[in-house]
Amino acid sequence: MKSSYDVVVVGGGPAGSMAAWEAAKGGASVCMLEKDRDIGYPVRCGEAASDLGLRQFVEPKDSWIAKKISGAVIVSPNESKVHVKFANETGYILNRRIFDYDLSRYAANAGAEVYTKAYVKELLKSEETVTGVVVDHLGEEKKISAKIIIGADGLTSRIGRWAGIKTQIRMKDMESCVQYSVSNIDVDPDNMIMYVGENFAPGGYLWVFPKGDKFANIGIGISGKHSKYKSAKAYLDEFMAREFPNAAILTTMCGGVPCAKPIKHPIKNGIMLVGDAAHQVNPMTGGGIVSGMKGGWLAGQVAADAIAKGDYSEKTLIAYPEKLRKDFGKNHERFYKIKEATAALTMDELNSIAENVLKIPFEKRTLASVFKAAVFKKPSLIIDVLKVLSGV
Amino acid sequence: MIKIIDNKCDFCGTCVTVCPVDCIEVREASISIDHPICIDCDLCVEICPILVLETVDEV
Ligand SMILES: Cc1cc2nc3c(=O)[nH]c(=O)nc-3n(C[C@H](O)[C@H](O)[C@H](O)COP(=O)(O)OP(=O)(O)OC[C@H]3O[C@@H](n4cnc5c(N)ncnc54)[C@H](O)[C@@H]3O)c2cc1C
Ligand code: SF4
Ligand code: SF4
């Protein structure tokens, strides 16, 4: 580990690896620091991602894919099942342990140095500019100076806070999650299943994502607005006892998903935030793999350009949020509005939406038709639905 | 005061995101709260998915 780099990336998730990869490809000297022992582990994720999403950056490898998915089943509070086939899309349930690892290897092969067991505990600043980090690497404290820091430190992002970027998430926008990797269960191998409604998961949903033969990720996210009354784990355990009493739970993990609008200005002089750290998660679905990769990808490119130009101030880095807004940023704001509207639906309303959508013949049923039915109380949102789902 | 129940935490960092005063530190396998800074708002207790944190009377 050297004492100075052009770019230091904090965090080795998908967003961090993409940033490190792009910055290194663009000619910058790059170092990526990950606090844990392994890249890609522990997996705190349902691991669902779309083929088209991943293909924006990489050719998906067979070893990343645990299961191909052809559609979704949305289960209403009274357990009506609405089956929707994906139109032009293939979905995957990934093996993030392998996927994340490979992304970091791509970054390393492009010239980025990668260090694990490297916890960043402080930012170095000079006046209004971030100039480096203090890292605990294998028990030893080191100072590293950098022209640009990329905070890819996940939802906790203290890096952002230390730089003076407001990253705190409001309780109602924070999803409190638990997930089990479960074996010995009978599960539909081709569809992802999502249970909605207060009885299953208030302010969120409960998911069953098949990963293989008799094997699935089963998890839940509930809004922080509700988690003080009953924990995410309590909801999930009730579901498991009811639906899968004989399940073998091979992994237990918990986590959180920031279902807020993306941070508008995730930069300061010498620093950019990417991925969960910048709330780059689809607030409707909680999916953050692909959008986090996009954030990292764009930030890495902007970082390489800034290094080449020799200007690391906000004035140059602003190109990053500008590109982001044109890409998925605007859509995520629309999804946020749709989420707010659907979060207000009662169980009866959700049941009657399911009833109405089930009247549409299966071949004609699309995700757009489900969303359109879901925003019936706010017809003005239909335009937003059509914009975000055009093509799906 | 916020008490951390021994051996229960999964070190996921969800509590860190909602803390208004940034006084929780989560590392690979440790969690600590900077008590003098903590304002006892209980948001971390409410968001933790597996009930690791508790409010206890000051001793
Ligand atoms: C239960 C659950 C289910 C989910 N399901 C899905 C899903 O099905 N599909 C989907 O697309 N998304 C899903 N998500 C969201 C998805 O996991 C995240 O959006 C994605 O991992 C974000 O990537 P990232 O690189 O920004 O952050 P992360 O993958 O969280 O990576 C951040 C990294 O930074 C490291 N780090 C943090 N602080 C420091 C520090 N100070 N120093 C050094 N390293 C540090 C962490 O150890 C971590 O490895 C889910 C999330 C949860 C919690
Ligand atoms: S939210 Fe709970 S499990 Fe996660 S780090 Fe905080 S105390 Fe630990
Ligand atoms: S009680 Fe409030 S201030 Fe104290 S650690 Fe929890 S969230 Fe932070």
pLDDT score for A161: 96
For residue A60, report the phi and psi dihedrals to the nearest 5 degrees.
-60, 135
Q: Are B42 and B55 in contact (CB under 8 A)?
A: yes
pLDDT tens profile A57-96:
999 999 999 999 999 999 999 999 999 999 878 999 999 9
Residue A392 has pLDDT above 50, yes or no: no
Question: H helices within A112-183, ranges in order?
Answer: 158-162
pLDDT score for B59: 64
pLDDT tens profile B4-58:
999 999 999 999 999 999 999 999 999 999 999 999 999 999 999 999 999 998 7
Chain A residues within 8 Å of chain B (Cβ atoms): 35-37, 44, 117, 119, 154-158, 161, 167-171, 174, 176-178, 224, 227-228, 231-233, 252-256, 258
Mean of the per-residue pLDDT values of chain A: 96
Q: Distance from B58 to chain A by nearest Cα, in Å?
A: 22
Greatest CA separation for chain A: 64
Interface probe for B, chosen from A10, A120, A156 (most Cβ of B below 10 Å), is A156
Distance of alpha carbon A156 from alpha carbon A167, whole angstroms? 9
The mean per-residue pLDDT over the stretch A348-354 comes to 95
Task: Tell whether ligand 3 has an atom less than 6 A from the beta carbon of residue B4.
Answer: no
| C-alpha dihedral (A185, A191, A192, A194), degrees to nearest 10 | -90
Q: Scan for tokens 């269960």, then name that residue.
A: A185
Which residue type is seen at A102?
D
Distance of alpha carbon A370 from alpha carbon A74, whole angstroms? 9
ipTM of the complex: 0.97
Q: Distance from B41 to chain A by nearest Cα, in Å?
A: 12
Distance of alpha carbon A256 from alpha carbon A281, whole angstroms? 11
Q: Scan for tokens 């941070």, then name that residue.
A: A263
Closest CA to ligand 3's atom 7: B19
pLDDT tens profile A91-113:
999 999 999 999 999 999 999 99
Domains of chain A are: 4-45+96-169+260-317 (3.50.50.60), 69-91+171-258 (3.30.9.10), 337-390 (no CATH)
Distance of alpha carbon A321 from alpha carbon A323, whole angstroms? 5
Residue A328 has pLDDT above 70, yes or no: yes
Q: What distance, in Å, lies between the first and last C-alpha atoms of chain B? A: 9
Higher-confidence position of A306 and A378? A306
Quote the pTM value. Answer: 0.97
Give the confidence band of A376 by pLDDT, cuts at 50, 70, 90: confident
Atom of ligand 2 nearest to the CA of B13: 5
Nearest CA-CA partner of A225 in A335, A337, A340, A329: A340
Nearest CB among A167, A171, A231 relative to B49 is that of A231
Domains of chain B are: 2-55 (3.30.70.20)
